[in-house]
Amino acid sequence: MIEPIQDFYAVIPAGGIGSRLWPLSRADAPKFLHDLTGSGHSLLRDTWDRLEPLAGPDRIAVVTGRAHRAAVEAELPGIDDLNVFLESEPRESAAAIGLAAAILHRRDPEVIIGSFSADHVIRGTQVFEWAVQQAVQVAREGYICTIGIPPTEPSVGFGYIRKAGELVVDGAPEAALVERFVEKPDLETAKEYVADRSYLWNAGMFIAKASVLLGELAANEPELYAGLSELAEAWDDRERRGPAVDRIWPKLKKIAIDYAVAEPAAERGRLAVIPGHFDWDDVGDFASLTKLITHGRKNDLAVLGPNARVLSDAASGILVSQTNRVISLVGVQDIVVVDTPDALLVTTVEHAQRVKGVVESLKLTGQGDVL
């Protein structure tokens, strides 16, 4: 057991629905509320459990939509009401993480925050903790520090971070500066990145003094910064908070924190990275979910659903069962079957990325009742 880091606060943005996991993920049951690993807990809860030893139970904040408040509080019975930051609507990651930074900075100007997605899967607790501990050391030096994952394959589904030279920080022997962020590459480029060994996957983790993060926001997105500051000033006054959110939040710029904070910081040599030698996956689609559950064994059929009644014969891929129906899969390879009470998806691992298009089509054809 480790001791919580004194000046550290963990922030969990719990926002994205996970459209490419439809019809498992829904507007009212987003990805972070699902148990995708068979752990018996939601991804959100797994995230909390992973952060609690590092931050302590009273110093973990969740930024989520008003609609998910009850579900989040049910998943995290230990959460302090003061640490649930509710958005009136989704405004992307810069607003979500910036809001947490602004509120926590008002409460403690010296606080170091670490932001970790609510719906990623990580295996290897101690290695994760060691990476965060190092990142906090780097953050204390005034850097924004990310944790990058050494790629195990040429994935085209993730962004990459290119390391520059080493960064000498006490207690952070693996620290390096970041040269730049790279968008999702094509396969050839991804292969080069993997061979190069100076590229890491961008896992969307950012650790920084709240003041430093807000400083970057102020420099790069002054209007967003102003809105967040105004919100934070009203936040801990219960009477003023709601009206302030209603007035300010919907006008905030929608921008990813990568663009609003991380990339500009990298350009100025203020972004550092710690390599995270743990298993990490953003479980972005059914292909990655299949791989996660089968551990990459090609001929396995992954079954997700505690009450699944499955009869399979020469079938591989993934079956998600949310009903108590008998499901028979015969002679289908690398299949994706997601069986829910009001919607059924049948596709293949190869076409997993196209599910997002299904969601778009359902919107366009007025079938939003199943989204």
Neighbours of 311 (CB within 10 A): 10
Of the candidates 120, 7, 108, 107, the one whose C-alpha atom is nearest the C-alpha of residue 54 is 7
- For a copy of itself, which is the closer residue by CB, 22 or 181? 22
Q: Which residue has the tokens 């009644």?
A: 309
Neighbours of 29 (CB within 10 A): 17
Residue 328 contacts a copy of itself per CB under 8 A: yes
Residue 342 contacts a copy of itself per CB under 8 A: yes
Residue 307 contacts a copy of itself per CB under 8 A: no
Among positions 69, 254, 298, 325, the unique one binding a copy of itself when judged by CB under 8 A: 325
Of the candidates 93, 240, 258, the one whose C-alpha atom is nearest the C-alpha of residue 183 is 258
- For a copy of itself, which is the closer residue by CB, 189 or 348? 348
From the list 91-99, 195-203, 233-241, 356-364, the region that binds a copy of itself by CB under 8 A is 356-364
d(CA 236, CA 70): 20
Omega before 23 cis (within 30°)? yes
Q: How far is the CB of 356 from a copy of itself (least distance, A)?
A: 10
Q: Which two tokens stand for residue 179?
A: 């040269």
What are the angstrom distances between the C-alpha of 111 and each of 5, 136, 210, 318, 329?
Answer: 11, 11, 6, 43, 53
Residue 88 phi/psi, 5-degree rounding, is -80, -20
Q: How far is the CB of 323 from a copy of itself (least distance, A)?
A: 8
Of the candidates 137, 77, 106, 103, the one whose C-alpha atom is nearest the C-alpha of residue 11 is 103
Residue type, 326: V
From the list 66-74, 146-154, 176-184, 335-343, the region that binds a copy of itself by CB under 8 A is 335-343
- For a copy of itself, which is the closer residue by CB, 26 or 91? 26
From the list 83-91, 184-192, 210-218, 344-352, the region that binds a copy of itself by CB under 8 A is 344-352
Residue 269, sorted as left (phi over 0), alpha (psi -120 to 50) or beta, turns out to be left
The interface with a copy of itself within residues 9-28 (CB under 8 A) comprises 23
Residue 365 contacts a copy of itself per CB under 8 A: yes
- For a copy of itself, which is the closer residue by CB, 272 or 329? 329
Please check whether residue 4 is in contact with residue 50, taking contact to mean a CB–CB distance below 8 angstroms. Answer: no
From the list 142-150, 166-174, 270-278, 342-350, the region that binds a copy of itself by CB under 8 A is 342-350
Among positions 104, 228, 304, 337, the unique one binding a copy of itself when judged by CB under 8 A: 337
Residue 301 contacts a copy of itself per CB under 8 A: no
Q: Which residues bind a copy of itself (CB under 8 A)?
A: 23, 309, 311, 313-314, 325-332, 335, 337, 339-348, 350-351, 354-355, 357-358, 361-362, 365, 367, 370
